[in-house]
């Protein structure tokens, strides 16, 4: 059985900008390399996560997979079909939920889904359309014009359009960005069901708790390169230890007063500071060092290491990732 998605040594360099584009902050004279020798192999039925900071190359990779852009070098296939030489078969095997809210303002939700079915040569598809509408909480909006929908409802329709031809591979590009809790819950219930039925899911998200809960394996991109690729469990095991969250009082974190403390910090969000611990027994030692540095702690939490810790650790501490970060700087 062929891989659901195979990406072989893919690089993508966008051409140098025109003089007008450079004046408004576009690409450099030499062009921009978004992907650098990326290779991935996603098995049929897998729930696969693709993570990375902004500008890591995730959207470029998905655009190549969907046929919206061409790789500068390398090969990409979906269910064994080359996305360039066998583009019709590859498109039929793929459903993509984009980041952007793209919709046709002249049709109702049901009409939009029927038209989408027609793009794939599907007739009499109303039974499946009704099931999608029900599972995404869109039944009451079926006869509503797309212009009248809220942003969250429009995003539900994008998911429905990606699923209307029952593709074996579903790509979700930041599907829950800026949407409410109810949509997240109903979306993940439906997508998890499709995955159990054999559909392959490729997810990009900045909500790392979603990736940790749903994904079997995860690839992390930085600067257009793969810097980590493993099972979710193995990535978490690379971190180990636990996380100490301090809620700082007046004066905030005493940055620069104790290098050993600063080396433990993995995240700072206002008065909330997260530090990495090798063992819970280190809590009192860390608190003593904070007090000695002049910091005031108003509250503490000790939490197990999660995917956010693994992500930050790999992005900043892993030798390969560190080399990519240095090159990108």
List the structure tokens of 35.
């992907």
Q: What is the pLDDT of residue 81?
A: 95
Q: What is the pLDDT of residue 181?
A: 82
Nearest by Cα to 67 from 36, 90, 44, 39 = 90
Q: What is the pLDDT of residues 123-171, one digit of tens each?
A: 889 999 999 999 888 999 999 999 998 888 888 899 999 999 999 999 9
Per the CB < 8 A criterion, the answer to whether 67 and 91 are in contact is yes
Going along the chain from its start, the domains and CATH numbers come out as 41-63+90-236 (3.40.50.300), 241-304 (3.30.70)
Burial of 226 (0-12, 13-18, 19+ CB in 10 A): buried
Which residues, in sequence order, are bridge partners of residue 300? 246
Residues of the chain where predicted confidence (pLDDT) is lower than 70: 16-30, 178, 239-240, 317-329
Residue with the two structure tokens 């060092």: 289
pTM for this predicted structure: 0.76
Q: What is the pLDDT of residue 23?
A: 58
Cα gap 296→172, rounded to integer Å: 43
Q: What is the pLDDT of residue 317?
A: 61
Interior/surface letters 263-290, b for 16+ CB within 10 angstroms, e for the rest: ebebeeeebebbbbbeeeebeeebeebb
């Amino acid at each position: 059985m062929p891989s659901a998605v195979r990406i072989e040594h893919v690089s993508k360099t966008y051409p140098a900008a025109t003089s007008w584009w450079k004046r408004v902050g576009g690409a450099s004279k030499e062009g921009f390399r978004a992907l650098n020798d990326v290779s991935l192999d996603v098995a049929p039925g897998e729930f696969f996560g693709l993570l990375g900071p902004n500008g890591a190359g995730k959207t470029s990779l998905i655009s190549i997979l969907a046929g919206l852009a061409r790789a500068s070098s390398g090969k990409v296939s979906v269910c064994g079909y080359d996305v360039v030489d066998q583009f019709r078969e590859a498109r039929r095997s793929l459903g993509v939920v984009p980041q952007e809210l793209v919709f046709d303002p002249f049709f109702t939700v049901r009409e939009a889904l029927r038209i989408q079915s027609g793009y794939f040569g599907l007739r009499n598809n109303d039974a499946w359309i009704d099931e999608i509408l029900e599972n995404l909480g869109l039944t009451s909006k079926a006869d509503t014009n797309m212009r009248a929908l809220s942003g969250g409802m429009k995003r539900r329709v994008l998911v429905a359009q990606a699923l209307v031809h029952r593709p074996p591979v579903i790509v979700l590009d930041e599907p829950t960005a800026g949407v409410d809790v109810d949509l997240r819950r109903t979306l993940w219930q439906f997508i998890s069901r499709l995955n159990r039925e054999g559909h392959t899911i490729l997810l990009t998200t900045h909500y790392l708790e979603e990736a940790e809960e749903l994904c079997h394996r995860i690839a992390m991109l930085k600067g257009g390169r793969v810097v980590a690729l493993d099972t979710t469990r193995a990535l978490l095991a690379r971190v180990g230890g636990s996380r100490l969250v301090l809620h700082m009082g007046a004066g905030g974190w005493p940055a620069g007063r104790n290098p050993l403390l600063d080396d433990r910090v993995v995240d700072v969000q206002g008065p909330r500071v997260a530090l990495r611990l090798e063992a819970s027994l280190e809590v009192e030692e860390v608190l003593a060092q904070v007090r000695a540095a002049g910091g005031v702690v108003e509250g503490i939490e000790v939490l197990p290491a999660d995917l956010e810790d693994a992500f930050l650790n790999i992005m900043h501490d892993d030798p390969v990732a560190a080399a990519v970060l240095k090159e990108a700087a």
